[in-house]
Amino acid sequence: MAASPLPRWAPTPSPTRPLRVSSTGQTAMSSCNRWAVCGLFSSVFAPSGRSPPPSPAGAPANAADDGGRVRCDPLDCVVGAREPTEEASPMVFLTWEDLSVTAAGGGRGSRAVILDRLSGYARPGEVLALMGPSGCGKTTLLDALAGRLNNLFFIAIESYFFTRKEYLCLIYCILNKCQFALIWLIILKAYVTQETLLMATLTVTEVVHCSAQLQLPDTVPPAEKRARADRAIQQMGLAAVAGNRIGGRVCKGISGGQRRRVSICVELLASPALVFLDEPTSGLDSAASFHVMSRIARLARDEKMTVVAAVHQPSSEVFQLFHGLCLLAYGRMVYFGPAADAIEFFDANGYPCPLRRNPSDHFLTMINKDFEELEEGSTLMLPCAAEVIQTLVDSLMSRGSLSIKSEVFSMQEGAPLTKKRQATFFTKCAVLTKRSCTNMHRDMGYYWLRFGIYIGICVSIGTIFFNVGNSFASIQARASMLMFTSTLLTMMSIGGFPSFVEDMKIFRKEQLNGHYDATAFVISNTLSSTPYLGIISIMPGAIAYYLTGLQRGFDHFIYFAAVLWACTMLVEGLMMIVAAIVPDFLLGIITGSGMQGLLMLNAGFFRLPSDIPKPIWKYPTYYISYHKYAIQGLYKNEFLGLAFEDLGGGGFTVSGEYILKTYLQAEMGYSKWVDLAILLAMVLIYRVLFLVTIKVGEAVKPMIKCISLKV
């Protein structure tokens, strides 16, 4: 029987993906122009049993022109669909051709080459392994295929460079022709990063159960969601630690390898069509690595998932689980094809693998040039790694088996591809609010530590200003006490910034994997923090308020506590905006403290409003400072209705209204409730700004990192 002209690890024909016939009569994959191949996008095809889509209007049945060459629209891609069901996911065939990635270097205009003209593909039901020495570009390739490269990188396909925005727009245009939207990239794929990002205060069961409630649709009964989560925990070998907390900065918990398995478990719950795994076996022993990868390979086969995994140095047992292998060396591809044929490829090029040696160890030893200088007395006589890499690259290119152009044709009819169903928006908000409340309750550094410090400081305030009375000197004492109490509670909110940063990291990961969007996160965070900030405002505030002897009346105290609550909500919103932009918590604390100090300085206490310089400081800083409205509202709440002894004696008194107008220069054209309303409106505005910042923050963060590196 004649040998097939296709490479052994070539796409399996399907009813919607017929193999094309070239002018020579041989079966071959169709080729198309750069717009069709630059994809880093996936072609989705139907399971066998569906009829092929009709040919474009006016085209022959085989969609070929004279000479048998296929005509293809550069903005179309191969498409079909399963019948939309809750369990069925579209199958994804992922291809990339002549992909290059460069990163902005330290000098002006310089770029470091990370990936150099790579080509390859991954098929449904199989695991493609990306291997190579440390720093060879495995993670960068995963990020490029998943659309996660930031603005510090430049993507080039067939020597055409794209910025990240152009790159994503390109993907959007191609997928949109196939009745897709950009959200497809999120809904159908899952990405397990190297960094394990899990909520430290939750148990393993709680983490997986919450993920099941977020990812699985509401039509799935809660009992089935729990059963599926428990089954995933069992399959990943986590049943013995299911009740243990994840652990981390807050408390000790499970081991690093177990956290890694929890991360994989969470992302595979909903059986995504496309899975990217970055070092899935890091932190695992050889036995655990084999069982985890076996589970992943079995899921890929049973669920027809396309799995691309970057692995560092797998054992021989794990290596045998891979269907395909992409071997990288310093941004260049030295092998692509079936994993089982890699040994033969190295042998044919003069670098045979010794008997009873792990193939992956042999491959990495041959192409690693980081440690080429032999130690004195060493018996190793290895060939030059640079020569090995060049020999393998030349051999790979000469094989001619990597001309894997996408089969592209337009589809005018057929069932549209729909994104996978998930929980509703309200369900996600409820689940996230509950999870966030649990985390805030268990994390002592989130609110409880602050609560204890507030109690101690408010007791100190109450004893220092104890029963100030109604003398003329009490005017300054009351004003100072109100100013200090309101600013202290807001300044102390900066202490929760590390927790905000951790929440943002977890949100970024889950958002990119399509678990929920930014709106649900902001709403749930606001709802969960409201009761805790209420407790912090009422209980310590009551101690300071009544010990000082401020104006009696429950309504006056409620207003006092409401202003404190609004101020803490404002500062939390401000610090979350900073957390969404600033890369790390140290810079965030410095930035937040500076902004707080600037707003406080222009509040009208340290310098009376009439004395504040008008350019910049009064217009607009004074009017956008929330301290201004908080202080003036508290002044009106306290001084209106009181009378103070005149400094000259003689039984004369001075009204509180007169003090507000002349001594404190409060704006008396409106009531204290207007000040409170402005504060509440600013709370809402800060949360909306937080939402907007999240959506554009990814474009700003790389710029800040780049500036910090140059500085």
Mean pLDDT of 289-314: 89
Q: Under a CB-based contact definition with an 8 Å cutoff, are residues 639 and 662 in contact?
A: no
Mean pLDDT of 15-24: 34
- Using DSSP bridges, classify how beta strands 274-278 and 306-310 pair: parallel, antiparallel or unpaired: parallel
Pairwise pLDDT comparison (441 vs 171), residue with the higher score: 441
CA–CA separation, 143 vs 278, rounded Å?
Answer: 10
Angle, CA of 618, 619 and 620, to the nearest 5°: 105
Residues contacting 648, CB < 8 A, separation 6+: none
Mean pLDDT of 163-169: 44
In this structure, the answer to whether residues 230 and 304 fall within a common structural domain is yes
**pLDDT for residue 1:** 41
Query: For residue 482, which phi and psi values (nearest 5 degrees)?
Result: -65, -45
Closest CA to 263 of 208, 187, 202, 335: 208
Q: Tens digits of per-residue pLDDT, 490-539? A: 888 887 888 888 888 899 889 888 889 899 999 999 999 999 999 999 99
**pLDDT for residue 20:** 33
CA–CA separation, 4 vs 492, rounded Å?
Answer: 71
What sign results for the dihedral spanned by CA atoms 572, 574, 575, 576? positive
Percent of the chain with pLDDT over 90: 32
Would 88 be classed as within a structural domain?
Answer: no
In this structure, the answer to whether residues 484 and 349 fall within a common structural domain is no
Tell whether the model's pLDDT for residue 167 goes beyond 50. no
3-state secondary structure of 280: coil
Would 238 be classed as within a structural domain?
Answer: yes
In this structure, the answer to whether residues 353 and 448 fall within a common structural domain is no
Closest CA to 3 of 27, 29, 30, 31: 27
Would 415 be classed as within a structural domain?
Answer: no
Mean pLDDT of 174-200: 61
Q: Tens digits of per-residue pLDDT, 236-280? A: 889 999 999 998 876 788 888 889 899 999 988 888 888 999 988
Angle, CA of 50, 51 and 52, to the nearest 5°: 115
Would 222 be classed as within a structural domain?
Answer: yes
In this structure, of 195-199, 392-396, 401-405, 585-589, the range with the lowest mean pLDDT score is 401-405
pLDDT band at 202 (very low <50, low <70, confident <90, very high): very high
CA–CA separation, 209 vs 220, rounded Å?
Answer: 13
C-alpha Rg value of the chain to the nearest Å: 32
**pLDDT for residue 556:** 95
CA–CA separation, 301 vs 307, rounded Å?
Answer: 10
Mean pLDDT of 142-157: 68
Tally the domains of the chain. Answer: 2
Mean pLDDT of 550-567: 94
Mean pLDDT of 382-404: 72
Cβ count within 10 A of residue 554: 7
DSSP letter, residue 64: B
Q: CA of 156: how far to CAs of 107, 163, 377, 690, in Å? A: 20, 9, 45, 33
DSSP letter, residue 416: P
Cα 679 versus chain centre, distance: 31
Strands (DSSP E) along 288-435, which ranges? 306-310, 324-329, 332-338
In this structure, the answer to whether residues 396 and 337 fall within a common structural domain is yes
pLDDT band at 181 (very low <50, low <70, confident <90, very high): very low
In this structure, the answer to whether residues 503 and 394 fall within a common structural domain is no
**For helices 626-639 and 554-581, angle between their N-to-C axes, nearest 10 degrees:** 170
**pLDDT for residue 649:** 65
In this structure, the answer to whether residues 391 and 455 fall within a common structural domain is no
Q: Based on the number of CB atoms within 10 Å of its own CB, is 412 exposed (0-12), middle (13-18) or buried (19 or more)?
A: exposed
Query: Whole domain around residue 367: which residue ranges?
Result: 93-372+382-410
Would 417 be classed as within a structural domain?
Answer: no
CA–CA separation, 72 vs 36, rounded Å?
Answer: 9
Would 453 be classed as within a structural domain?
Answer: yes
CA–CA separation, 179 vs 413, rounded Å?
Answer: 11
Helix (H) or strand (E) holding 629: helix 626-639
Q: Under a CB-based contact definition with an 8 Å cutoff, are residues 563 and 486 in contact?
A: yes
In this structure, the answer to whether residues 430 and 405 fall within a common structural domain is no
Q: Tens digits of per-residue pLDDT, 612-670? A: 998 889 889 999 999 999 999 999 999 998 998 877 666 778 899 999 999 999 999 99
CA–CA separation, 203 vs 444, rounded Å?
Answer: 16
In this structure, the answer to whether residues 489 and 540 fall within a common structural domain is yes
CA–CA separation, 671 vs 636, rounded Å?
Answer: 8
In this structure, the answer to whether residues 386 and 464 fall within a common structural domain is no
The CATH number that applies at residue 242 is: 3.40.50.300
Give the distance between the most distant pair of CA atoms in the chain. Answer: 121
Query: For residue 508, which phi and psi values (nearest 5 degrees)?
Result: -60, -45
3-state secondary structure of 378: coil
3-state secondary structure of 79: strand
Tell whether the model's pLDDT for residue 414 goes beyond 80. no
Q: CA of 383: how far to CAs of 134, 147, 327, 363, 497, in Å? A: 19, 37, 18, 13, 52
Strands (DSSP E) along 350-433, which ranges? none
In this structure, the answer to whether residues 398 and 432 fall within a common structural domain is no
**pLDDT for residue 639:** 94
3-state secondary structure of 334: strand
Question: At 195, which amino acid appears?
Answer: E
The chain-wide mean pLDDT, for the chain, equals 76
Closest CA to 265 of 285, 243, 238, 226: 238
Q: If you count them, how many residues does the chain have?
A: 711
In this structure, the answer to whether residues 286 and 433 fall within a common structural domain is no
In this structure, the answer to whether residues 465 and 402 fall within a common structural domain is no
In this structure, of 576-585, 601-610, 674-683, the range with the lowest mean pLDDT score is 576-585
Would 45 be classed as within a structural domain?
Answer: no
Cα 290 versus chain centre, distance: 28
pLDDT band at 373 (very low <50, low <70, confident <90, very high): low
Would 298 be classed as within a structural domain?
Answer: yes
CA–CA separation, 549 vs 554, rounded Å?
Answer: 13
